[in-house]
Amino acid sequence: MMRKLLAVFAILVLALGLAAAWAYQDWQRFVNQPVNPDSELRLWLPTGTSFPALIRQLEALGMARSRHWHWQVWRRLHAPALKAGEYQLAVGLRIGDLVKVLESGQTVEHRFTIVEGWTVARLRRELAREPRLRHLTTDIDDDALMRRLGCDGCPAEGYFLPETYFFARGSTDLALLERAHRAMDEALARAWASRHPDLPLASPQELLVLASIIERETGQAGERARVAGVFKRRLNLGMRLQTDPTVIYGMGEDFDGRLLRVHLRIDHPWNTYTRHGLPPTAIALPGGPSLQAAANPEPGTALYFVARGDGSHQFSDTLEEHNRAVNRYIRGRR
């Protein structure tokens, strides 16, 4: 009887040992299984993603289906904290290493570039087209947007710094705009603090307005301070700025790409041909170089400039010289 019991016990031990060996090998096959054997993948975990939803996503991305107990053991062993975000899964990443990726919090970063010279309307249109952002500002106007940014009563135009901003998928357009607005506040404060002592501007807001005009007048880095010098001298002399971009901005959607002489005579707050001084708001988003140029204009004697047609400008001291330049570069082209 005892021998029979020992034999049965030995058989059970052997069976358990074989089962354990099989389970171990099966487990090793599972943890060493590549999540993505052929190519890099992006795993997107929205806020509140459950563990079963994670498994479904992995299988949808092409990972071989595994037994339920595998995942339950994996979960109990590692209990990964599922941090929302988009993760880059390298080629051949093993399931056993997946937990390191999910717990790292190192999500994929996307980029959005605000281009120097855009208007705030253009900025908002481009943001609305970015599918990886959550859109919280699409249905509110500029005034409501500025209130959300803590700047109630501030004009939106000009108050977002052109730069490349990085963001994680699922973050909001409002968060990106907050960063761009804060960056402009800081850049404007630096420019205002470094301004030339005899600058004819009363506030950082006026500096922003002038910088936006400079931004729209020239794309040549070497001309910004020179253009600023022309505008500074005109302001000091009480001359009208007479700059086309302000007229175009004031026309809004009525501008069809052709600025005619009649447009220069239509009075509105941004028409610097009919009104003295600066317009009431910026006309575009100026970059840091334009802010610095507005704060520190280049000394000189020129009071006029005209586009040569190649991106550069001809500067003139007198109206007679300017008219000759206009005849050469504008009327001559026509």
DSSP string, 16-35: HHHHHHHHHHHHHHHHTSBS
Pairing of strands 164-168, 109-113: antiparallel
Q: How many CA atoms lie within 13 A of 155 on its CB side?
A: 16
Q: In angstroms, rounded to a whole number, what is the distance separating the alpha carbons of residues 120 and 137?
A: 13
Per-residue CA distances from 228 to 199, 212, 302 (Å): 10, 11, 11
**How does pLDDT run along the chain (334 residues), one tens digit per residue?**
666 666 656 666 665 666 556 556 665 666 666 766 667 778 887 877 777 787 787 777 776 566 666 767 766 766 666 677 888 888 877 776 777 777 777 788 899 999 999 999 999 999 999 999 999 999 999 999 999 999 999 999 999 999 999 998 889 999 999 999 999 999 999 999 999 999 999 999 999 999 999 999 998 999 999 999 999 999 999 999 999 999 999 999 888 888 888 999 999 999 999 999 999 999 999 999 999 999 999 999 999 999 988 889 999 999 999 999 999 887 655 4
Q: Could you say which DSSP state residue 327 is in?
A: I
Tokens 């400039």: give the residue. Answer: 305
DSSP tally for the chain: helices H, then strands E? 13, 6
Q: Is 48 exposed, middle or buried (0-12, 13-18, 19+ CB in 10 A)?
A: exposed
CATH topology of domain 301-334: Double Stranded RNA Binding Domain (3.30.160)
CB atoms within 10 A of CB 102: 17
Q: In terms of pTM, does the model score above 0.85? A: no
- Measured in whole angstroms, the distance separating CA 32 from the mean position of its chain's CA atoms is 39
3-state helix, strand, coil in the chain (%, to 5): 50, 10, 40
The DSSP bridge partners found for residue 34 are 94
Q: Where are the domains of the chain?
A: 39-60+69-107, 109-187, 301-334
Q: DSSP 3-state assignment of 101?
A: helix
